[in-house]
Amino acid sequence: MKYRQLGDTELRISEVSFGTWAIGGGWGEANDDESIRGLHRAMEAGVNFFDTADVYGSGHAEELLAKATKGKEDEVHIATKFCRSGDIHDLATYSEQAVRQFAENSLKRLNRERIDLYQIHCPPLAILKDGSVFEVLEKLKAEGKIRHYGVSVETVEEGLFCLTVPGVKALQVIFNLFRQKPADLLFPQANAAGVGILVRLPLASGLLTGKFTTSSTFAADDHRNFNANGDQFNVGETFAGLPFTKGVDLAQELAWIGDGRGNMARAAMRWILENPHITCIIPGFKNVKQIEDNLATLEVPAFTSEELVRLKSFYTTDVHAHIRGAY
């Protein structure tokens, strides 16, 4: 395992880490025993960072992490998120009383005394600009309830604003071969500001595994079904904002990246890690096999300069115009 510094904090985290949305709920059926085995396998391989949220399975993902990391609280870092269990547009959701309750609930489920990274979960820009939520987070930090705080953002504009807030130490961003925009402006400025970058949805909700066809279907409780067109939350969180059938077609055009790199998924994540401004990727998983396959990203050969130019051109020419939603 290789480790990278989280911005200018003291935390060094595994460059391949894992998100827990899938094992909490919202990606179809998951098995808790298999989820726990996957978490243990990741830690055995040196993974020391997991991302979760209070709304993943209504706290279930946090409870699974508590069980899997018991006794390793000092060596395994956990990031969780808050606000989406309330009305994200209502300032009351970000009041001191509300945020304290969110934090205490997460601490209880995680069975920890401190949250290593506490993130606002995709709030509107107006909430960020109001700024009062950051004052609350500073209080929680001073009290030792949280170690650092950050923001999970949907757009480059939101990310750039967060860089003006001195206490923000991490941004969580959707970034993958289908969604390259943040690399141009946001990532260099975050690096200059000492802010870490956590990459979520590195495989564009599975499109970049290359395993889907235009006739693929998803379970009723899978967001790739109920949010395919942004009916429940930002469409960018599902298939990187691409219409599903278009995404499948584009993925087929990218199949070449898997040649000599094990498979397409590993290659897609290797491409992300070649960006020096990235702290880590946080792919999801449901079982040990997926953990091991994602960890194999570390062994994938680098892309040539010619390949990188080709991939940038592909995004600019063939992909960008089809992305929907805030970006």
Kindly list the catalytic residues: 56
List, in sequence order, every beta strand (DSSP E) within 31-106. Answer: 49-51, 77-82
Burial of 292 (0-12, 13-18, 19+ CB in 10 A): middle
137 Cβ contact list (under 8 Å, min separation 6): 99, 118, 120, 146, 149, 167
Separation of CA 270 from chain center? 16
Q: How does DSSP classify residue 319?
A: I
Residue recorded with tokens 């990310």: 159
- 166: amino acid identity, one letter: P
Torsion angle of alpha carbons 285, 293, 118, 54, nearest 10°?
0
Task: Determine contact, residues 19/284, Cβ cutoff 8 Å.
Answer: yes
- CB-CB contact of 53 with 121 (8 Å): yes
